[in-house]
Every structure is written in structure tokens, then in C-alpha cells.
Amino acid sequence: MPKREYGKWSSETMKRALSEYEKNDIGFNECCRKYEIPKPTFRRHLLGQVKRGNDTTHQAKRRVNGRELALPEEVERQLVEHILKFEELLFGLTINDVRKLAYDILAANPHIPNPFNKETKMAGKKWYYAFLARHPNISLRQPENVSIARCKGFNKTNVYNFFDILENVVDENGIDGFHIYNVDESGFSTVQKKAPKVLASKGKHQVGFVASGERGINTTLVCCVNATGNYVPPMFIFKRLRMHPALKNGCFPGSIVETSESGYINSQLFVLWLKHFIKFVKPSPQEKCLLLLDGHTTHSKNLEAIKLSREHGIILLQLPGHTTHRLQPLDVGVFKSMESNYTQVMAKWLRTNPGQKVTQFEVTALLTEAFTRSATIDNAVNGFRGTGTWPVNRNVFTDADFVASENLDHQSTNPEPEHTVIEENNVSNSSGSKIIQHVLDEPSTSGLNHEELAELNKRSSLKVSIAEISPIPRPTKKHDTRIRKGAQKAAILTESPYKKELELKQKEKEKKEEKSRSNKQKAAAKKEKVNKNIADKENVKPKQPVIIIETNEEDWYCSLCNESIIEDMIQCMQCRKWAHEMCAGVHVKSSYICDLCS
């Protein structure tokens, strides 16, 4: 038997039906058939017997069928605003959080009946799904992890400062979309980060997918694209000490393959990539191009790269620190798609090569296929447009995008002040009164008296507000004695002041290194001298006093042969007489007792 449907008619339909019937233009049965309204329902509205949930009249905008709502309509509206506020602050509430909060609201306001489970202290799942159905503007989403540094770094000051510099560079140099580029690196492992979704038997709890190993080897891909969707052939960086020709198998045409000890880019490799970029883009001082990049030390502290860029008319613009997830076109438009495609390509390779592992020699071909799928014009154009870098538009970010950083910058040592709660309670009460007054002003056929309206007003207000039950998370002020470097700001790396400052820092660094090297050499020489003196003292033998032994024949008298001959002798342990070893027949230095004593 199919499930029965309720409330198929709307309030506008009911208004038209009542108006037409009251004019005697149509009969009762025909009116119900025409507007598809059940007869008992239409009869209740005619007689003014409608009081379902918070709906007091057929002119009301919202009509609830069945029993009254657990949370009044105004309270649900406040709850929706509270949920969206937490999501803006990047502290989104889970399903269980919302269910528990609904119970806590009624528990803190005993004047509203609480139908929820007292043992679990949570609203039921049916209430939750009905709540979502009543408020289609909220839905369950899977969030992405955002670090605290990125939450704080993406603030209005940093972002607007970047756009000020970008606008000046574009206007002064006549940069168009064809001459604005973005370069960035991304790491790819021989073991996929996340297995793709597969079909399996329903109800099975553990579903596996084969992988090359527990931990993979990282490979860095350096990508570059301009605002019109033209890509520079990428650069592959493998974690190896020596280059192997097989690493180039299947690489993208025109790309370069290099190695590094860590598998990441370094200053020398960035200079090499910059020459690769100049080879394909062919910039010049007469036709300059703008290159957007992050503040990694291989970019921002690379004096050789800055000099090379100045020679060829490349303007290096550094993005503010911890903002690349919102301001870098490649991060926004290309890399997410590339990671997904790389996972799919690797899964396909493992399926077609059962029992084999993905090694560094297969990564080049797999990455090339993923790059070909993701490096599209649409992804590039949308990446630049979504970050506001081309066309230059700072208004792509609204005040709502900076709410999280502003909240974390707000330091508080105490919880929410009480007067704030009182004001919110007053707002709730006043809003509930306005709704009731609006109902009173409208013509009604419900026949509700003032006592019923007062009861409804009481249910619509909260004595303890939602903000007091679930306060907004704010950081507490802590005394931090650590010395921290300031966050990187947006800057033009190829400008003369920045270059001179970098050269000065480079000279100071070289002086410190030279001084440190000199001190180490002096310390080593001093230590070597001390060790030599100690060794010389140890090698010198102390002067021994010259002992002159006067030997008499009596000292060599043997009690066995009765002769005084100088030979090796041994002493009897009992009589203390000496005898020649040859005479005693003893050749081992051991306890000796002569024949007379034995």
C-alpha cells in the first residue's frame, strides 16, 4: 500500500478556495475537487477550527500538519541561524550536536513541553529529518580541514592589501589575462591518499581496495598556467639522489624531469624551472608578465631567481601567507581535480596490473594522464575568476568570508556577558509578539481568544536563549613568551627595495657563516694543539733512578749444586733458600718447595 501523502495543498490554494466558496460561485464538493483539498480539511477551515502547530489562520504563510512542533517556529528559526553562524565560524555542528542542542533548549526552558527522550537527552532522528525538511536552506555537508593559521591568515587586511598591489601592477604595466601566470607545486605519492568508491554487497562493513603499500614515496609536480588557460609543460621532481632515464618514460611533451634528496623543490630547481618558464613564455622587459606564487623560501628568498626574473621582465608577486587556499588559482581550480584524477588513474593501473606495485618509474605516466585530464581551459579560467585575480575583483570575497578570522582575532577572557543574553531574550520576545500582533491584525476565522494567543506567545519565546545554551567559541587570551615571526605579506619580489633588502640579508648571512666557520677552525686548531700537548706528555717516559746492583757470588749460591753460577734462580717457599731452576727442574714460575723441605 503506497504511503499516504498529507498537505498537498498550499495556503494560497486554500485562500482562493475559501474566497470562491464564500462568493457562492461554486459548491462545496466541486470546490474540494477543483483545488484538491480534502473535505474534512476544507470544512475545518470554513468553521474556523484550525489550530495545528503554530498556524492560527489560513492566511498564515506556514502550515503544519499533525501534532504541534516540539520547537516553536520562531525557536526553529533561531536555531537555523545559530547553525549557520557556527558554520561561518568553521565550527560547524554535527547531527548529534543539533539533536542534543534541541533537547537542551527545551530543558532550559521548562515552560515549553519537552517530548524528547530523557535518557539519551537528545532529539530523535525523525525530528532531525523533519527539521531538515522544514528548512531546505540547510543540509548535511562534508567539510574540509582548515588549519588555524589559514583561519587567521585569511583576513580582510591581508587580502585587500594583496588586491591593492595587484591592481597597481596590472594598471602600471598593462598586464592582461594572457600575461598573468600562477605557479605552484603539489605532491603526489605512489600510494593513493583515498581509495575511490566501489560497488559492494549491501550491508558489508569492511570493503577494501588494493594499494601499493602502507607509505608511499612523494613526487612533486610543478604546474604553471595563465588566466586564458595556457599551460606551461610541468616539471617532475623525484625523491632520488641520481637520475635514471626510465623516470622520463611517458612524461608530458616539453616537460622536464629532475631529482632532489627530499623530493621537494629547492632554490636550484626553482631557478632551473624559471629558465624553463622563460623558454616557453618568452617574456621581455618590453612585454612583461606577472607571475603569482606563494611565499615559500625557494621563491621569496632566492636572490638568483629574482635577478633572472628582473632581466627577463618577469614580475614576481608573492601571495599573503596562509591564503593560498583561497587566493591561488591552481589550488582553487586545478589541483583538486588533478588529485581526484590521479587516484582514478592509479586505481585503473592497479586493476590492470594485478600483484604489481606502483613505483617511481610508473608515476610519470600516471601523473601525465591525470595532468592531461585536469589541465583544461575551464579549470584555469574558473580558478582565476574564483580567486578574483583575473578579472581583478576583490568583491568575490564578502564580509562573510572573513568572519572566521575576525572571531579568532577577538580575544575574550570571560564567557558571553549576561546583558547580551537578556538582549537576545528581549529580541526573541519582541519577535514573538510581532508575529502574534501580525496575526491579530489580519482577518481570522479561527476564533482564537486572547488567552490562546498569550499561550502561543509564551511558547514562541525563550527564557534562556540559544546563545547562552550554546555560546559562540572564542579564543581566550594567553601569555605567549615565544618570539614569532610576522606572517608573510603580499609583496613584489622583483622590486628594487625588496631585492636590496634580500641582498643585505644575504651578505649578513654570509658574514655570520664566515665568522662561524672561522670560529670553528680556531676551536679545532686549539683543540688539536691541546690534544697534541696531552699526547706528548703521555709519550714522555718519566726518568727512572739508575739502580746499580752489586752482585756477589754468594747471591748466586745454589743450595742443590753448592755452586755460585749466575743463572735463573727460584726460591723455596718454606726454607727461603735459592736454587738454580735447572737444578730444581722447574721451568714454570709457580710455588716451589725444595726436596729438603718436602
Q: What is the pLDDT of residue 154?
A: 92
The reply to whether 310 falls in a domain is yes
Residue 165 near residue 490 (C-beta atoms within 8 A): yes
| Matching residue, cell 557556527 | 86
Helix (H, G, I), strand (E, B) or coil at 232: strand
Cell numbers at residue 561, please?
Answer: 749444586
Query: Is 70 exceeded by the pLDDT of residue 432?
Result: no
Q: In terms of domains, do 370 and 230 share one?
A: yes
Phi, psi (deg, nearest 5) at residue 318 = -85, 130
Residue 316 near residue 293 (C-beta atoms within 8 A): yes
pLDDT digits (tens, 9 = 90+) for 74-126: 999 999 999 999 999 999 999 999 999 999 999 999 999 999 999 999 999 99
Query: Is 70 exceeded by the pLDDT of residue 298?
Result: yes
CA distance 18 to 24: 10
Domains: count for the chain: 3
Q: What is the pLDDT of residue 207?
A: 92
Mean pLDDT, residues 185-199: 89
Query: Is 50 exceeded by the pLDDT of residue 423?
Result: no
Long-range contacts: 431-436, Cβ < 8 Å, 24+? 431/74, 432/74, 432/457, 432/460, 432/461, 433/457, 435/74, 435/460, 436/460
Q: What is the pLDDT of residue 484?
A: 61
The reply to whether 478 falls in a domain is no
Query: Is 60 exceeded by the pLDDT of residue 56?
Result: no
CA distance 333 to 388: 12
Q: Of 396, 431, 450, which marks where a domain is finished?
A: 396
Q: In terms of domains, do 180 and 34 share one?
A: no
Q: Please tell me which residue, 55 or 317, carries the higher pLDDT value.
A: 317
Write out 17-51 in H/E/C secondary structure: HHHHHHCCCCCHHHHHHHHCCCHHHHHHHHHCCCC
The reply to whether 79 falls in a domain is no
Q: Measured on CA atoms in the order 69, 74, 75, 79, is the torsion positive or negative?
A: positive
CATH number, domain containing residue 567: 3.30.40.10
Q: What is the pLDDT of residue 478?
A: 65
CA distance 516 to 510: 10
Phi-psi bin for 320: left (phi > 0), alpha (psi -120 to 50), beta?
A: beta
Q: What is the pLDDT of residue 197?
A: 86
The reply to whether 379 falls in a domain is yes
CA distance 465 to 34: 45
CA distance 186 to 261: 17
| Matching residue, cell 531546505 | 136
The reply to whether 403 falls in a domain is no
Q: Please tell me which residue, 488 or 149, carries the higher pLDDT value.
A: 149
Q: In terms of domains, do 244 and 378 share one?
A: yes
The reply to whether 460 falls in a domain is no
Query: Is 80 exceeded by the pLDDT of residue 445?
Result: no
Q: What is the pLDDT of residue 325?
A: 92
pLDDT digits (tens, 9 = 90+) for 335-371: 999 999 999 999 999 999 998 999 999 999 999 999 9
Q: What is the pLDDT of residue 366?
A: 96
Helix (H, G, I), strand (E, B) or coil at 579: strand
The CA-atom distances, in angstroms, between 91 and each of 87, 139, 224, 445, 470 are 6, 15, 34, 45, 12
CA distance 349 to 507: 51
Residue 181 near residue 291 (C-beta atoms within 8 A): yes
Give the containing element (helix H, strand E) for 432: helix 418-441
Please give the torsion angle defined by the CA atoms of residues 406, 408, 412 and 418, in that order, rounded to the nearest 10 degrees.
70
Residue-number span of the structural domain to which 575 is assigned: 555-597
The reply to whether 20 falls in a domain is yes
Q: Of 396, 412, 440, which marks where a domain is finished?
A: 396
The reply to whether 24 falls in a domain is yes
Q: How many residues does the chain have?
A: 598
- Model confidence at 483, in pLDDT bands (50, 70, 90)? low
Phi, psi (deg, nearest 5) at residue 57 = -160, 155
Q: What is the pLDDT of residue 92?
A: 93
Query: Is 60 exceeded by the pLDDT of residue 63?
Result: no
Query: Is 70 exceeded by the pLDDT of residue 539?
Result: no
Query: Is 50 exceeded by the pLDDT of residue 186?
Result: yes
Q: What is the pLDDT of residue 518?
A: 79
Q: What is the pLDDT of residue 499?
A: 72
Q: What is the pLDDT of residue 447?
A: 44
Cell numbers at residue 305, please?
Answer: 631567481
Query: Would you call 559 exposed, middle or buried from its count of C-beta atoms within 10 A (0-12, 13-18, 19+)?
Result: middle
Which of 352-356, 370-374, 476-480, 507-511 comes out lowest in average pLDDT?
A: 476-480
Q: What is the pLDDT of residue 66?
A: 61
Of the candidates 59, 67, 65, 6, the residue with the CA atom closest to the CA atom of residue 37: 6
- Model confidence at 512, in pLDDT bands (50, 70, 90)? confident
Percentage of the chain lying above the pLDDT 90 cut: 49
Which of 256-270, 313-327, 429-443 comes out lowest in average pLDDT?
A: 429-443
Q: What is the pLDDT of residue 541?
A: 52
pLDDT digits (tens, 9 = 90+) for 372-391: 999 999 999 999 999 999 99
Instruction: Calculate the average pLDDT of the chain.
Output: 82
Quote the radius of gyration of the chain (alpha carbons, Å).
44
Give the containing element (helix H, strand E) for 269: helix 267-281
Residue 257 near residue 222 (C-beta atoms within 8 A): no
Of the candidates 459, 436, 470, 471, the residue with the CA atom closest to the CA atom of residue 109: 459
Q: Of 371, 396, 421, which marks where a domain is finished?
A: 396
Q: In terms of domains, do 43 and 177 share one?
A: no
Mean pLDDT, residues 25-37: 88
